[in-house]
């Protein structure tokens, strides 16, 4: 139904699939929604196909769109991240009044969001960078929403966002994350975790396929079973679907027909870069980004295959198949646990750096539904932070420590098997090294400090007394205290 005279509670700019699904979600949940797209055909198409789902107020100019919103006006931008977003923000800020709210629902880089918030605030309006997860289906039926921006805007926006968000046990999967770029930052790390989660699932598949010699359809059944236990999650569920799918043209397993070069739009890479900048070892996420990059290094891979780099003496697996499958399940669970633990470390570091005061309990709550990394396991993460909001690391929570008791040996066995078989398992292996590094009483960092002092007089600390020291390496090798 459309009514030009009715004022809308919310507006959506940009009516590609995500935008129009979000608009439909608002309308289906009783909100009157103003809709605008640069080319009016998309607006007409939305109204024609779905106008009966609720109250839409379509406009053909941004001015009419703004005029169709009730005050304080609330408009969500769902256009391509980057310059297109800046252009729409500028148009909206121009046409809106003081106190109105512009929301960017795309995957914007959080530093852009911080900049935009400042600019828009200087023009008297509010700007909210909101991460929205759940893909096309989530946008329509209930996404997880991570809004940043001023707390004041959340008071106005909260109820309307709650009306469309996913809901788990009566709790909507949306909350105010923190000021300015906090929402987009958290969404960025969500996507980083998503990359790692997808990669460890991929590594498990690779081991079952080429280590245990199983066919995709058989592995699909294994994933289906895993989805009823600790690993119960959206990504495991869709993995089973993808593996069971046959290519409609050839009848071959679809996974064998798809080119094995993974794409990326950049959010995982941003997370890894941020980890490097803030000095947080989010190794699982970084390895996952590199794994995608390596998969897409087509020419180099071809040369390495044609040149037949030596594989060493590949030994056949001498373990029982059922035991191996269970080991892989546990290794996957362990590596996934590390990825989440590191992701939460990344969020803590970002929150401290930018003064956002992000509460990890909020994330563990709102990520339980709607988003791509939704998993049963998030309930456990929430419980962990409920018990201790200042956990030094998620894996140090008593429940997860107990889980790791059961996971550690199979995890080691799987990394050994992968190495022995010459099968790549970058996140399984590097996460295990991360885990062992955290546990290690002594790290070779002492030697590195010695080397740095040797060639650059970079000094070192001593274990037995305070102060900063240097050895006269090219002289008499005496010890001097520098402060």
Q: How far apart are CA 202 and CA 344, in angstroms?
A: 22
Q: Which SS3 state, helix, strand or coil, does residue 318 take?
A: coil
Report the residue number, 220 or 372, with the smaller CB distance to ligand 6PG: 372
Q: What is the CA radius of gyration of the chain?
A: 26
Report the residue number, 263 or 307, with the smaller CB distance to ligand 6PG: 263
Q: What is the 3-state secondary structure (H, E, C) of 358-420?
A: CCHHHHHHHCCCCCCCCECHHHHHHHHHHHCCCCCCHHHCHHHHHHHHHHHHHHHHHHHHHHH
How many residues touch ligand 6PG under the rule CB under 6 A: the total is: 13
The question of whether 41 is a catalytic residue gets the answer no
Q: Position of tokens 């969020």?
A: 347
Report the residue number, 172 or 268, with the smaller CB distance to ligand 6PG: 268
Nearest approach in angstroms of CB 268 to ligand 6PG is: 6
Backbone angles phi, psi at 36, to 5 degrees: -150, 140
371 binds ligand 6PG (CB under 6 A): yes
Nearest approach in angstroms of CB 301 to ligand 6PG is: 20
430 binds ligand 6PG (CB under 6 A): no
Structure tokens at 304: 């390495």
Nearest approach in angstroms of CB 11 to ligand 6PG is: 22
Cross-strand partners of 246: 253
Nearest approach in angstroms of CB 83 to ligand 6PG is: 18
The question of whether 187 is a catalytic residue gets the answer yes
| Kind plus residue range of the DSSP H or E element containing 102 | strand 101-104
- 74: buried, middle or exposed (CB in 10 Å: 19+, 13-18, 0-12)? buried
Residue 412, Ramachandran bin (φ over 0: left; ψ between -120 and 50: alpha; else beta): alpha
194 binds ligand 6PG (CB under 6 A): yes
Nearest approach in angstroms of CB 265 to ligand 6PG is: 4
Q: Contact 349/280 with Cβ under 8 angstroms? A: yes
Report the residue number, 32 or 267, with the smaller CB distance to ligand 6PG: 267
Q: Position of tokens 């400042």?
A: 118
* Of positions 32, 91, 175, 191, contacts ligand 6PG by CB under 6 A: 191
134 binds ligand 6PG (CB under 6 A): yes
- 460: buried, middle or exposed (CB in 10 Å: 19+, 13-18, 0-12)? middle
* Of positions 9, 20, 68, 107, contacts ligand 6PG by CB under 6 A: 107
Structure tokens at 163: 């009306």
Taking CB under 6 A as the binding criterion, the range among 44-52, 130-138, 374-382, 472-480 that sits at the site for ligand 6PG is 130-138
Report the residue number, 56 or 110, with the smaller CB distance to ligand 6PG: 110
Residues with Cβ < 8 Å from 215, sequence gap 6 or more?
A: 209, 253
Kindly name the residue from 117, 194, 287, 403 that is annotated as catalytic: 194
Taking CB under 6 A as the binding criterion, the range among 2-10, 132-140, 326-334, 460-468 that sits at the site for ligand 6PG is 132-140
Kindly name the residue from 125, 187, 336, 348 that is annotated as catalytic: 187
Residues 228-267 that bind ligand 6PG (CB under 6 A): 263-265, 267
Residues 260-299, mask of contacts with ligand 6PG (x by CB under 6 A)? ---xxx-xx-------------------------------
* Of positions 15, 46, 332, 372, contacts ligand 6PG by CB under 6 A: 372
* Of positions 25, 91, 133, 199, contacts ligand 6PG by CB under 6 A: 133
Residues with Cβ < 8 Å from 284, sequence gap 6 or more?
A: 196, 199, 200, 335, 338, 339, 342, 427, 430, 431, 434
85 binds ligand 6PG (CB under 6 A): no
Q: Which residues are catalytic?
A: 187, 194
Contacts with ligand 6PG by CB under 6 A lie at: 107, 133-135, 191, 194, 263-265, 267-268, 371-372
């Amino acid at each position: 139904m459309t009514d030009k005279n009715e004022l809308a509670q919310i507006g959506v700019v940009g009516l590609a699939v995500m935008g129009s699904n979000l608009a439909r979600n608002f309308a289906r949940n009783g909100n009157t929604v103003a809709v605008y797209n640069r080319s009016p055909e998309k607006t007409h198409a939305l109204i024609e196909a779905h106008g009966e789902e609720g109250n839409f107020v379509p406009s053909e100019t941004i001015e009419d769109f703004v005029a169709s919103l009730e005050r304080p006006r609330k408009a969500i931008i769902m256009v391509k991240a980057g310059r297109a977003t800046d252009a729409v923000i500028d148009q909206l800020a121009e046409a809106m009044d003081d106190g109105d709210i512009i929301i960017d629902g795309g995957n914007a880089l959080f530093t852009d969001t911080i900049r935009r918030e400042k600019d828009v605030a200087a023009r008297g309006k509010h700007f909210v960078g909101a991460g929205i997860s759940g893909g096309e289906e989530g946008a329509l039926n209930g996404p997880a929403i991570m809004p940043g921006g001023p707390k004041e805007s959340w008071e106005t926006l909260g109820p309307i966002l709650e009306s469309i968000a996913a809901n788990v046990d009566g709790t909507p999967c949306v909350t105010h994350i923190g000021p300015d770029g906090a929402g987009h930052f958290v969404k960025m790390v969500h996507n980083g975790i998503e990359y790692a989660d997808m990669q460890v699932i991929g590594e498990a598949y690779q081991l079952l396929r080429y280590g245990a010699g199983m066919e995709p359809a058989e592995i699909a059944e294994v994933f289906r079973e895993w989805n009823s236990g600790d690993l119960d999650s959206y990504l495991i569920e869709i993995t089973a679907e993808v593996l069971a799918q046959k290519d409609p043209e050839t009848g071959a397993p679809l996974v064998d027909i798809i080119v094995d070069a993974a794409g990326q739009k950049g959010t995982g890479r941003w997370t890894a870069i941020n980890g490097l900048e803030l000095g947080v070892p989010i190794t699982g996420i970084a390895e996952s980004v590199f794994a995608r990059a390596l998969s897409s290094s087509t020419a180099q891979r071809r040369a390495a295959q044609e040149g037949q780099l030596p594989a060493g003496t590949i030994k056949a697996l001498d373990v029982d198949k059922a035991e191996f499958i269970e080991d892989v399940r546990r290794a996957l669970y362990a590596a996934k646990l590390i990825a989440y633990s590191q992701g939460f470390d990344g969020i803590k570091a970002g929150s401290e750096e930018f003064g956002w005061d992000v509460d990890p309990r909020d994330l563990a709550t709102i990520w339980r539904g709607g988003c791509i990394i939704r998993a049963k396991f998030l309930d456990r993460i929430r419980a962990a932070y409920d018990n201790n909001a200042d956990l030094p690391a998620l894996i140090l929570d008593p429940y997860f420590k107990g889980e790791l008791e059961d996971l550690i040996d199979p995890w080691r066995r799987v990394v050994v098997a992968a190495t022995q078989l010459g099968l790549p398992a970058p996140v399984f292996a590097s996460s295990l090294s991360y885990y062992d590094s955290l546990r290690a009483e002594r790290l070779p960092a002492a030697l590195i400090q010695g080397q740095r002092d040797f060639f650059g007089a970079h000094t070192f600390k001593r274990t037995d007394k305070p102060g900063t020291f240097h050895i006269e390496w090219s002289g008499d090798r005496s010890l001097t205290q520098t402060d």
